[in-house]
């Protein structure tokens, strides 16, 4: 029997070969030799994920066990599964991997050594291991790798299938997290994002136990050491807007906020590629022309091997994974001080939110708990067009504790640091989706630049009569008409009707938080007539 004690601890025995901590170049070789991907012009590698081109939220389960059950917000996001059924799937996975070549990356989640989580990622596909190598923080010291002790293990058996009748899963796809065993099982899907999000879900559970605020956000820092956070779900521009040549990127997706400041969870970026352009997003575009970048489901010309970022025939959710080192001027430590500005991004499919507004501390709590945005086509299976949704804490799919736990931590940090908070609409203007148009990225960049620089600090503002937020009346480089969305609609009464409808949706959604929230926070929400 071919055994490795490092794998035997998680039930994996008798693999054919195990490739430990291969370099990017070596994983390229293995992926190409196994026909897992195609090298394209510029040097990146394109891989296909097959049927599943986005997350499968209905297939994600947490084990209901005594050490964590009382802390988990059980429901449609955190679906329970029994320990027995988890163990049954685990057995299926280990049998599936018997006799297969396996790839292992030992890495970390969390740039701050005080809160770092050692993670072992085991995959049956070489390109998934390359993805993990990009996404997490790699250990370059070979001596330390020899003594590496994981505190979380992720087993990705992409071609393994669950039996819903026997295992209690929703389908053949499974993403199962056992917080007690510190073990994650992924199967039935080749979408690499499930690896990343599973690790961050575990971090989102562990860090509050240490009074650290985990955040689904990007972060950057200016020349004056001014840190900015960007909250937002996939498709809101979080990655794009934080990749600013005038500022230094800290990270693009997940961070912690401790008493020491902020720190990145990741060693890389996982950016949306659909309709990517060199003009609008030069830093991200450059990564697609670099050796090492993994592109998911991007269309390739079979003759020239040139990429077509406008082709959504496979999915709208085309992705690119690359190390942070691919971004010029990145903060290599992944750490920085406390934020001076916090930006909450919403892709408003109704086209009624202003492009920027400053939030009071109470309004910041209201909108953080609300997490209003739109699910963008392709991000999840079954979503074919933008759909208005509320995702509490701008990351409900990855939060384990009740939302008020994270909100309380954020409130403490904002109050202590007196950070300014902004609500930015990167969605539609001039009408709802299908009538209006997406907010030009140039306008959004100008607004954010003004907010971060302090250029809006002394600008007159008006309180929006419906959404109850302070909207600046002017901004350098942006027409004043754009700042007032009502003026961009052809029919003002249609705007009023649509805005009132969205305000009512806010109120209905917030009803579940009203009991736990203060009267001041409740009053900071939109005004429903």
Cα separation of 503 and 466, whole Å? 7
Cα separation of 167 and 64, whole Å? 14
Question: Tokens representing 21?
Answer: 């901590």
In total, the chain counts a number of residues equal to 529
Q: Are 312 and 378 in contact (CB under 8 A)?
A: yes
Cα separation of 230 and 262, whole Å? 13
> Given the DSSP bridges, would you call strands 102-109 and 137-138 parallel, antiparallel or unpaired?
antiparallel
Alpha helix (H) residue ranges in 290-402: 361-370
Q: Are 345 and 241 in contact (CB under 8 A)?
A: yes
Q: Which helix (H) or strand (E) holds 461?
A: strand 461-463
Q: Which helix (H) or strand (E) holds 240?
A: helix 238-242
Q: Which residue has the tokens 């709208």?
A: 316
Question: Tokens representing 205?
Answer: 């559970």
Q: What angle do CA 94, 98, 104 make, to 5 degrees?
A: 75
Q: Are 77 and 380 in contact (CB under 8 A)?
A: no
Cα separation of 27 and 34, whole Å? 10
Q: How many CB atoms lie within 10 A of CB 70?
A: 6
Positive/negative CA dihedral, 514, 516, 520, 524: negative
Give 223: exposed, middle or buried? Use CB within 10 Å, 0-12, 13-18, 19+: exposed
**What residues are annotated to the active site?**
55, 197, 216, 234, 238-239, 253, 319
Q: What is the DSSP string of 39-107?
A: E-TTS-EEE--TT--SB-GGGEEEE--TTTGGGS-BTTTBEEE-HHHHHHHHHHHHHHHTTS-EEEEEE
Q: Partners of 107 in the beta sheet?
A: 119, 138
Q: Partners of 423 in the beta sheet?
A: 344, 357
Q: b or e along 115-124 (b: 16 or more beta carbons within 10 Å of the residue's beta carbon)?
A: bebbbbbbbb
Q: How many CB atoms lie within 10 A of CB 299?
A: 18
């Amino acid at each position: 029997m071919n055994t490795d004690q490092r794998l035997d601890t998680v039930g994996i025995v008798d693999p054919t070969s195990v490739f430990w901590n291969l370099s990017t170049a070596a994983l390229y070789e293995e992926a190409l030799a196994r026909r897992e991907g195609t090298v394209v012009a510029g040097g990146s590698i394109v891989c296909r994920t097959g049927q599943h081109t986005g997350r499968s939220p209905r297939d994600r389960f947490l084990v209901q066990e005594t050490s964590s059950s009382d802390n988990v917000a059980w429901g449609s996001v955190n679906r329970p599964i029994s320990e027995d059924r988890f163990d049954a799937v685990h057995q299926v996975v280990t049998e599936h991997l018997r006799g297969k070549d396996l790839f292992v990356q030992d890495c970390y989640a969390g740039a701050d050594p005080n809160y770092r989580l050692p993670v072992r990622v085991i995959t049956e596909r070489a390109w998934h291991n390359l993805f993990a190598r990009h996404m997490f923080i790699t250990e370059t010291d070979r001596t330390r790798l020899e003594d590496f002790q994981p505190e979380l293990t992720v087993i990705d058996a992409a071609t393994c299938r669950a039996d819903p009748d026997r295992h209690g899963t929703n389908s053949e796809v499974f993403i199962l997290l056992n917080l007690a065993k510190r073990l994650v099982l992924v199967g039935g899907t080749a979408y690499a994002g499930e690896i990343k999000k599973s690790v961050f879900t575990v971090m989102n559970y562990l860090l509050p136990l240490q009074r650290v605020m985990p955040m689904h956000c990007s972060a950057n820092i200016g020349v004056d050491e001014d840190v900015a956070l960007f909250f937002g779900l996939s498709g809101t521009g979080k990655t794009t807007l934080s990749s600013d040549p005038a500022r230094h990127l800290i990270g693009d997706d997940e961070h912690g906020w401790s008493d020491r400041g902020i720190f990145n969870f990741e060693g890389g970026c996982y950016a949306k590629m659909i309709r990517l352009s060199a003009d609008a997003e030069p830093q991200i575009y450059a990564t697609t022309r670099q050796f090492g970048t993994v592109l998911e489901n991007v269309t390739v010309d079979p003759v020239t091997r040139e990429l077509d970022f406008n082709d959504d025939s496979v999915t709208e959710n085309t992705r690119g994974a690359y190390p942070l080192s691919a971004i010029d001027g990145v903060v290599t430590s992944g750490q920085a001080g406390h934020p001076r500005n916090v930006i909450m991004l919403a892709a408003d499919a109704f086209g009624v939110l202003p492009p920027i507004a400053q939030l009071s501390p109470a309004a910041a709590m209201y909108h953080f708990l609300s997490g209003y945005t739109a699910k963008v086509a392709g991000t999840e299976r079954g979503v074919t067009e933008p759909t208005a949704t509320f995702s509490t804490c701008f990351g409900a799919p990855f939060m384990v504790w009740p939302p008020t736990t994270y909100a309380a931590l954020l409130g403490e940090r904002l109050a202590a640091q007196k950070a300014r908070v902004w609500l930015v609409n990167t969605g539609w203007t001039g009408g709802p989706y299908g009538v209006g148009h997406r907010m030009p990225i140039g306008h959004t960049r100008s607004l954010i630049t003004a907010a971060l620089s302090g250029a809006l600090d002394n600008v007159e503002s008006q309180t929006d009569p419906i959404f109850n937020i302070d909207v600046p009346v002017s901004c350098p480089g942006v027409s004043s008409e754009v700042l007032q969305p009502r003026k961009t609609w052809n029919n003002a009464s249609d705007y009023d009707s649509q805005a009132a409808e969205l305000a009512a949706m806010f109120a209905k959604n917030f009803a579940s938080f009203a009991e736990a929230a203060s009267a001041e926070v409740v009053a900071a929400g939109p005004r429903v007539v």
